[in-house]
Amino acid sequence: MIDSPMEGEQSGMKLHSMLSDGMVLQRAAHVPIWGTAGTGEEIRVSFLGKTYSTAADVSGHWRVELEKLEPGGPYEMTIWSSQAELVVRDILIGDVWVLGGQSNMELPVRRTLDLLAEEVASVNLPQIRQFAVPQTYNFQAPRLELPGGRWIAAALEDVLHFSAVGFFSARELYEKYQVPIGLVQTAVGGTPIEAWMSEETLREVGGYEAVLEQCKDDGYVKETMRKDEERSRLWYSHLNDTDLGLQEGWFNAVCDTADWELTEVPGSWSGSRLEPLRGAVWFRKEIDVPASMLEGEVMLKLGTIVDADDTYINGVSVGSTGYRYPPRRYPVPQGLLKPGRNTIAVRVVSNENTGAFVPDMPYKLVGSGQELDLRGMWQYRVGTSIEALEPSTFFQYKPSGVYNSMIAPLREYPVKGILWYQGESNTGQPAGYRKLFAALVRDWRRNWGSADLPFIYVQLANFGEEDDAQVNWAELREEQRRSLEVPNTAMAVTIDVGEYNDLHPQDKRTVGQRLALCARKLAYGEEHLVHSGPMYTRMEQREGAIVLHFDHAGSGLIAGGGSGGLRGFAVSGPDGRFFPAQAVISGSTVIVRHEGTSQPVHARYAWANNPAGANLYNREGLPASPFSTIGWD
């Protein structure tokens, strides 16, 4: 899990893993080419008709710097030493963007196919490339090298492995400027912001000293992982040994279900007798499949399932997913389904959370242009009920670990800017995120040696039930909005493209388009481009109302959705209690009031985890950021 820098004398020559076939080099920058060789060994690099010479130092490291490059390609580069010759092929010169953050940045194009399958089916954009940084961590010190990785092009099946946000951003930029785009994906699902910050910076921020020291103890890390793995192994062994469904073959096509109960699928176990259960519950449904549906490929779609599942058709396993978030999309082997009666069996394993077939997702069999709805009554029976599995320790979430192994090794690779999508894992404690974010931006700019490196980020999307009283996501969004105080940053608002029931909404196209707009303004200098939705700037009290001022109004403020006027505003009086407000657009301002509040003191907009009704936009179609006029530190 821990990568090691190459030090000392080397028997051969080696390049940093990013310097490999298919790479994209940053145009108009001082581009280093570096690697290792034997101490004192002479190195020559030939590229675009020029040759650069150097020698490896006492630790075996060498480095040359290419002259500023014009966009184009593909090209080849040849590197010689006395012992080896390396040829790097298919090199492009263009703009390189780093994709940082957690799962919504990492989420691949293949996870968006329910929504965007037709759009990506015929993608052939070899001028767009991606390098996925291997997911490792290290708590001892910043690393110099990466333990692998390769460049892929946005064509054929490889596009499905791209970061979806990254791909749709890159496509917009490529179509606009016709310059090759390189994406360096360095994102890990579930990571809080502090995992992406250097130890030096975290010690300056304060509060992380104890965990930083603890994680430096390799013995502690190894023993914790050993205990976690052993505990998980024993839990699943006990689960399988006691699961009556496995012993009696409840997955088989023929099974006695006379004593099974009925339940509605989809749905949560909350409120039912299954709510406290941790273990395995089996679900079965018989379906009648028409012969015309079986003429081509067939896909079984089962929404998402909490926590894990093993799924069978007619007694044959068709898919298994070990955790809650991925959509269950299982191709059905040719010939497994028969015209007429067939049986689907799903073993749902709840190890930590209350089980569920998550509602408002696709539950159907799809084939030959036809769909068979699988929602409705299913039979179910408990296979086993055991104690909950104690959560494991995820060391990739710990402070500075992924920074050391996934950010620090990129320092020599020049980039155009940063695209950042993170924050979900900090919603448990949103206060102070703004301070951490500002420190991270300084950290990364220092890493790349650029004090004004463009840093463009995504504000969290809408998520959760509309009537949820929790507002921690709203508070995190406010921290993100106020982070625009950091120079040379921009923010893409996404409160209108989320999904209440999915932490990973599929509409990454809109997110990518909005990030690209920000990039065009911030990094490409399109001064007059409207790149953002309305942003609250200040308020004034006026005759029983509050006047809210906005910038980025574009060609005018509008109420989106086509009906009902503005929604999503609230005002409070001196007592601090907020009430829904009547809101009216007046030029680049919005006037808000509540008939029962004669002296409004504060206002807020879209102040909910899922502000589904909020509809302030500019005429360019970009949504306003949520905000509160109450300031806090």
pLDDT at residue number 156? 86
Contact 107, 159 (CB under 8 A): no
Strand order across the beta sheet in which 582-586 lies: 535-542, 545-551, 589-593, 582-586
List all residues 6 or more positions away from 219 whose beta carbon is below 8 Å from its beta carbon.
none
d(CA 380, CA 594): 51
* Encoded tokens for 2: 């821990």
**For the chain, percent helix, then strand, then coil, each to nearest 5?**
25, 35, 45
DSSP H stretches of helix in 322-419: 401-402
Cα(214)–Cα(217) distance, integer angstroms? 6
Burial of 231 by CB count in 10 Å (0-12 exposed, 13-18 middle, 19+ buried)? middle
Measured N-to-C along each axis, helices 508-522 and 164-177 cross at an angle, to the nearest 10 degrees, of 50
Q: Which two tokens stand for residue 389?
A: 């599995």
Low-confidence residues of the chain, pLDDT below 70?
A: 1-11, 563, 632-633
* Structure token pair of residue 424: 């979900």
Distance CA 329, CA 205 (A): 43
18 contact partners, CB below 8 Å, separation of at least 6: 131, 146, 149, 184, 410, 413
- Displacement of CA 70 from its chain's centroid (Å): 32
Q: What does the radius of gyration of the chain's CA atoms come to, in whole angstroms?
A: 27
pTM of the model: 0.95
**Mind listing the pLDDT tens digit for each residue in 121-140?**
999 999 999 999 999 999 99
Q: Could you report the per-residue pLDDT of 394-425, keeping only the tens digit for each?
A: 999 999 999 999 999 999 999 999 999 999 99
In order of 6, 170, 171, 453, the CA distances from 177 in angstroms are: 38, 10, 10, 20
Ranges assigned E (strand) in 530-593: 535-542, 545-551, 557-559, 569-572, 578-580, 582-586, 589-593
Residue 222 tokens read as: 């190894």
Burial class (CB in 10 A: 0-12, 13-18, 19+), 256: exposed
DSSP state of 298: E
Residue 610 to residue 603: CA distance in whole angstroms: 18
**Pairing mode, if any, of strands 370-373 and 363-367?**
antiparallel
Q: What is the DSSP secondary structure assignment for residue 407, as one 8-state letter?
A: I
Q: Are strands 181-187 and 85-101 parallel, antiparallel or unpaired?
A: parallel
